[in-house]
Amino acid sequence: MTRLQNLLLGDTTANRVVPPSGFTASLTVISSAAMAFLAVFAISLFLAAGELSNRWEAELSGTATIRLPVSETIDDQVTNVLAALDQTPGIVSARRIDDSEQLALLAPWFGQDIPLGKLRLPVLIEVEETQAGPDVEGLSNRLAAEAPGAVYDNHSRWRIPLVEAADRLRNLALISLLLIASVVAVTIALAASSALAANGQIVDVLRLVGAEDRWIANAFTRRFTLRALGGAFAGAIIAAIAVALIPSGVDAGILSGLGFRGGQWLFILSVPCLAAGLAFLATQIAVARRLKEDG
Amino acid sequence: MIELNNVAMSYGGRALFENVSLLLPEGSFHFLTGPSGAGKTTLLKLCSLQLKASTGQVKLLGRPTDDLDRNQVAAFRRQIGVVHQDSRFVDHLSVQENVLLPLAVSHKATTDANDVSDLLGWVGLDHVAARMPPELSGGERQRAALARAIIQSPEIILADEPTGNVDWDMSLRLLDLLIELNRLGKTVLCATHDLNLIRQAKSRIPVRVLRIRDGGVTAAGADL
Ligand SMILES: Nc1ncnc2c1ncn2[C@@H]1O[C@H](COP(=O)(O)OP(=O)(O)O)[C@@H](O)[C@H]1O
Ligand SMILES: [Mg+2]
């Protein structure tokens, strides 16, 4: 705890012993800002792709319909089909939609008194699928054998590749975040390391008066952590504004999910904090290593 | 206490001195003299652990210093005040902050503001306390370095020609400071080739003079 306290508050000399400016300062601030900007977009993409995938996935699970063309042996066919469905993995339940229900479904279009018998409407079987759903191709073959002309219509199965694409997109966003984090860490480690080299005289003086490596490392770490925090904060805010300005409204697929909602705004605040954490670790490690090398 | 046992030092194979054995007891005051290039600075740097002896052993405060880790070296440095011939500073911190640096790195509560200005006043730097080191003259730098070396009242004070760039009056004041510290029980080793300074010191306290020359260190004769 005292270590953290020393590090964050420090005494005034320790705060100022590393020169406030220099190219490593601008490098750290600018790259943190740029990376935070990118990180906010990656997070936004990650969230949007996740939501899209969940939504589509939710629509997937659910119902399918089997249409059987009317024929002489329709009732036997229905019985056979129901028996077959009963043994098919991926099917939760199946039931025939009776005439009165079908009538109710059609009523809005054709009115109450439709002569169903004359229309020769196909018989419908409503099927409830599991999340994973059945093997549609195998099932279709089976149905064709039981009832020629039967059609298995699972409404939204065409969205499976879309869900996969959304999942893939989310993973890419995650990988981008990891890459951004590594670039930040490496850049700051290099900046800290070269700041240390550029300030060799200061390090010599500190050593002469008995500063331990940790004290020196903390002095540099404090500077670089604050720089990264400041830069990343600016970059994240700018990106957040840019995201907020993306027009939203109608369901536009991935685009409609790009904004941040409610608690998701906290993700933006976490970006500068994470950048500061990364800067802290990167500087500590880089400086400690460098001090040891100097002997 | 500073103890050297059979210390040899060479730079790149060229021996500077060999078989140097010294014992500077706690609370003693020694001058180190000798021609330029004889190795005075090198000897002081061995004592401040900035250089490592080629062979032999250096003991400080009764402890051997052969196998110290980095934190232990730092701990020793906090008990040794060093004034270099060409002292270096943190150039973007004020003279006062530089003088206080040893306290900052040892996490010690900063001494009384009065103590600092007393010290700066004594070495004649009170008027430049807020300036930056690059604005100081050579003599002012040496005085700032001396103030920095003694701010935390170290057990051992190593001064390398501390009066090299200052006039006689200031030399006497700096000597007063060293003598005062010695009276408080600090061990002082001061390299100089200012014989007047040595004579002045001798007239006031018991000091001993070491002469480094031709690869060896000897006690200087009574002529000094
Ligand atoms: N880092 C070094 N590398 C090589 N030779 C050095 C180094 N430092 C000092 N010397 C040489 O060692 C000799 C003694 O130097 P020094 O200890 O500074 O003498 P003094 O302080 O008595 O004038 C000189 O000849 C100097 O050139
Ligand atoms: Mg010298």
The pLDDT assigned to A1 comes to 46
Domain shared by A192 and A53, yes or no: yes
Query: Of A154, A178, A201, which residue sits at a domain end?
Result: A154
> Is the pTM above the cut of 0.90?
no
The pLDDT assigned to A117 comes to 65
Q: What is the pLDDT of residues A163-181, one digit of tens each?
A: 888 899 999 999 999 999 9
Residue A15 lies in a domain: yes
Domain shared by A13 and A89, yes or no: no
Contact by Cβ (8 Å): B158, B81? yes
User: Which parts of chain A fold into alpha helices (H)?
Assistant: 2-8, 12-16, 23-60, 74-86, 99-110, 116-119, 136-146, 160-198, 200-208, 213-244, 265-294
Residue A160 lies in a domain: no
Closest chain A residue by Cα to residue B150: A209
Domain shared by A103 and A39, yes or no: no
Residue A271 lies in a domain: yes
The pLDDT assigned to B13 comes to 85
Lowest mean pLDDT across A55-69, A214-228, B73-87, B198-212: A55-69
Domain shared by A288 and A173, yes or no: yes
Query: Of A154, A185, A205, which residue sits at a domain end?
Result: A154
The pLDDT assigned to A254 comes to 59
Q: What is the pLDDT of residues A186-204, one digit of tens each?
A: 999 999 999 999 999 999 9
Q: What is the pLDDT of residues B12-60, one digit of tens each?
A: 888 898 899 999 999 999 999 999 999 999 999 999 999 999 999 999 9
Amino acid at the residue A53? S
Q: What is the pLDDT of residues A93-141, one digit of tens each?
A: 888 888 778 777 777 777 777 676 667 778 888 888 887 778 888 888 8
Domain shared by A41 and A84, yes or no: no
Of A222, A258, A254, nearest to A240 by C-alpha is A258
Average pLDDT over residues A1-28: 73
Q: What is the pLDDT of residues A57-93, one digit of tens each?
A: 777 667 788 888 888 888 888 888 888 888 888 888 8
- Which residue from B31, B40, B42 has its CB within 8 A of the most atoms of ligand 1, so it is best to mutate? B42
Q: Which ligand is nearest to the CA of B43?
A: 1
Q: What is the bridge-based pairing of β-strands B208-213 and B187-191?
A: unpaired
Of B132, B103, B98, B71, nearest to A11 by C-alpha is B103
Domain shared by A271 and A195, yes or no: yes
Distance B17 CA to ligand 1 centre (A): 11
Provide the percentage of residues in chain A whose pLDDT is more than 90: 38
Q: Do B93 and A208 touch (CB under 8 A)?
A: no
Distance A169 CA to ligand 2 centre (A): 68
Of A78, A88, A69, A82, nearest to A136 by C-alpha is A88
Residue A247 lies in a domain: yes
Residue A129 lies in a domain: yes
Contact by Cβ (8 Å): B60, B2? yes
Atom of ligand 1 nearest to the CA of B44: 17
Query: Of A102, A124, A154, which residue sits at a domain end?
Result: A154
ipTM of this predicted structure: 0.91
Domain shared by A149 and A247, yes or no: no
The pLDDT assigned to A247 comes to 77
Atom of ligand 1 nearest to the CA of B212: 22
Residue A106's domain comprises 62-154
A167 by Cβ neighbours in 10 Å (0-12 / 13-18 / 19+) ranks as middle
**Mean of pLDDT over chain B:** 91
Closest chain B residue by Cα to residue A200: B90
Domain count, chain A: 2
Residue A94 lies in a domain: yes
The pLDDT assigned to B199 comes to 95
Helix (H, G, I), strand (E, B) or coil at B158: strand
Residue A163 lies in a domain: no
- Phi then psi for residue B97, to 5 deg, are -65, -35
Domain shared by A202 and A220, yes or no: yes
Atom of ligand 1 nearest to the CA of B160: 21
Residue A207 lies in a domain: yes
B80 contact residues in A (CB cutoff 8 A): 210
Domain shared by A265 and A223, yes or no: yes
Domain shared by A173 and A149, yes or no: no
Lowest mean pLDDT across A77-91, A231-245, A276-290, B130-144: A77-91
Which CATH number goes with the domain that contains A93?
3.30.70.100
Domain shared by A288 and A191, yes or no: yes
